[in-house]
Amino acid sequence: MNTTIIIVSYKSELLIDKNIKRLSAKHKIIIIDNARDKILKRNLEKKFKNVRVILNKNNGFGQAANLGAKKSKTKYVLFCSPDNFLEKKAIAKLEGFSKKLNDNFGLLILMEKEKLKRKVYEIKKPNSFLTFFTQRKVFLRLKGFDENFFLYYEDNDFMKRILLDNLKIYEVPVSFKAFKGSHNPKFNYEIELNRNWHFMWSKFYYFNKHYGYLFSLFVTIPYFIRSLFRIILNFKNHKTRKIYLHRLLGLMNSYILNKSWFRPKI
């Protein structure tokens, strides 16, 4: 048992049980539940002996993922969302790639089932990823995710720091099925508002962190103008207008260097 599976959940009670059932009982699973759902914790820990649920204040994906890594004890950690169902023997395959590489890597990124390729590809530019495998000591040495991000771009930022540390990143032919939504559908609208606010805040923060204020302003001003136009265009459509308003507010808060304070009202 060289790998701990870390799952960050938020209102994910409809999927997470099904996800765990697909995983081998020999692997330790740590769930960081940002909704602090005591019923979920009781049910899962009673049903699965290899599962530990930690109830956590919702400070975003990055903070929760970092906490999971700190609580794990194994050589490797695999981060997986509640709606990402791993293929069978995924852990064994990932540990096999690690052995072939003599642990000379920063990240192994899994492929979505629909995009599965049969070759290993080296990734040389930061981008977004969903499910990944790494050495715990490497993750902790690099201080994990930047916890200023609440949602979005923390993966791009982590990948950039790995590359700057001269570590290799590979996309490997180990697949997962993505269901594109881990939360209970009844919270869709509030989650959508939250996503739009943080997507724009995080976009500016990422570029500002790595390339400076003027460059990030140049990159995001078109989004600001487009959001303002959409707010006017959807004046009578309250729900759509509110979504674009949150995009605008996320950007405005990033421009004045406010922290990512917005949280879903659930």
Q: Look at residue 1 and tell me whether its pLDDT is greater than 80.
A: no
Q: Do residues 201 and 28 make contact, with C-beta atoms less than 8 angstroms apart?
A: no
Count of C-beta atoms within a 10 Å radius of residue 195: 17
Give the pLDDT of residue 178: 83
Tell me if the domain spanning 3-178 has CATH number 3.30.70.100.
Answer: no
Q: What ranges do the domains of the chain cover?
A: 3-178, 185-255
Q: What's CA 83's distance to the chain center, in Å?
A: 11
Give the pLDDT of residue 214: 98
Average model confidence (pLDDT) for the chain? Answer: 94
Q: Do residues 5 and 47 make contact, with C-beta atoms less than 8 angstroms apart?
A: no
Of the pLDDT bands very low, low, confident and very high (cuts 50, 70, 90), residue 22 is confident
Alpha helices in the chain (DSSP H): 16-21, 38-47, 61-71, 90-100, 136-141, 154-164, 188-211, 213-233, 238-255
What is the b/e burial string over 239-266, where b = at least 16 CB atoms within 10 angstroms of the residue's CB?
eebbbbbbbbbbbebbbeeeebebebee
**% the chain with pLDDT above 90:** 84
Cα(138)–Cα(128) distance, rounded to whole angstroms? 19
Looking at residue 4, its amino acid is T
Give the pLDDT of residue 186: 85
- pTM higher than 0.95: no
Q: Look at residue 79 and tell me whether its pLDDT is greater than 90.
A: yes
For 194-243, the pLDDT digits (tens) are 999 999 999 999 999 999 999 999 999 999 999 999 999 998 999 999 99
Q: Look at residue 180 and tell me whether its pLDDT is greater than 80.
A: no
